[in-house]
Amino acid sequence: MAKPAATIRDVARVAGLSVASISRVLNGHNHVHPDTRKKVLDAMNALGYVPNAAARSLSTAKSHAIGVVLPDLHGEFFSELIRGMDKAASERGYLLLLSTMHADSVLAGQAMGAMRGRVDGLIVMAPQLAAGDLARTLPASLPAVLVNSPEDAGHHNLRIDNRGGVMLMVRHLLANGRKNIVHLSGLLDNLDAMERAQAFRDALATLAPELPVRILEGDFSDESGERLVQKLLAEGMEFDAIFAANDMMALGALQALRTVGVRVPAQVAVAGFDDVPLARYLGLSTMRVDIAGIGERAVARLVDELEGISTTPAVERLTPALIARATTAS
């Protein structure tokens, strides 16, 4: 006999709250304490609760929709990622439903919870969530594929080989005679930013241990790249190369250098990471990540699981390629 569907009273019991409190969370009431909201979402996930009868009926049938939860939708990286997902989903007969979490575990829980009953499975990119928060947030009732997220043995995870990519770029800069390389990192609570910063330290320790390790923290935006280089210039710090953790910060660095007449690459080389379309047009040296390809592959892995062509969950590490353009040429 099928297990009876959980009710709002079951959620209230497990969360230790009143039915009215549960209702306020479900209805998106603004005046709900984050701790209360988290208790409700955790209880819903534990019980596999679907908020209403219509959604419950949907959860028993195929919707042919995939929920995609990303940290943000702004910028070329996410545009390329979604483009790849949309292409693969269309080819397999699925639609995409998009949401964002803005690096907030409570918002992540809300976004994923809102997908329950509407989608057949999830693709989640959560580089700023701790592994424990991610595990608690993922709905147990939905198959999921992770992208650039903390490793979870129960889910397939597509990861960029940040260490290998950084090693290639540092080797390239050193081969072009650079001796004072500054790394502009993303926010260091971000998985990719942490991995790339650590890989930069390790690359210099391996390839040029006599050189100083200098890392400045940005936030992956072009504005932060421009601001950090302006700071370097104002402080009179010597540097002959900027290696940014993504292309947008590298493009901001380029703007700061060119504004004050610093010649690139004659005086300072500039490199990024990702190879977004804009980097190609502006001649930026970078590490090429097949961003759209990651999106396509994530959809393929999820649809295979949904359609019973499942593979054992594993971590796939995707190796970026060095693209040397005008900003690092000798």
Spans of all domains in the chain: 1-49, 162-289
pLDDT of res. 330: 61
Query: What is the CB neighbour count within 10 angstroms for residue 37?
Result: 19
- Judge contact between 184 and 249, C-beta under 8 A: yes
pLDDT of res. 51: 67
pLDDT of res. 80: 94
pLDDT of res. 130: 83
Per the DSSP assignment, residues forming a β-bridge with 100 are 70
What pTM does this model have?
0.77
pLDDT of res. 244: 98
pLDDT of res. 328: 97
pLDDT of res. 297: 95
What is the spatial distance between Cα 225 and Cα 229, in angstroms, rounded to a whole number?
6
- What are the tokens at 15? 């969360």
Per the DSSP assignment, residues forming a β-bridge with 4 are none
pLDDT, mean of each 10-residue run, the chain (330 residues): 71 87 70 82 83 49 87 88 94 91 77 86 90 84 90 85 97 97 94 96 98 96 97 95 97 97 97 94 96 95 86 86 92
Burial class (CB in 10 A: 0-12, 13-18, 19+), 36: middle
Could you tell me the fold of the domain covering 1-49?
434 Repressor (Amino-terminal Domain) (1.10.260)
pLDDT of res. 53: 44
Could you tell me the fold of the domain covering 162-289?
Rossmann fold (3.40.50)
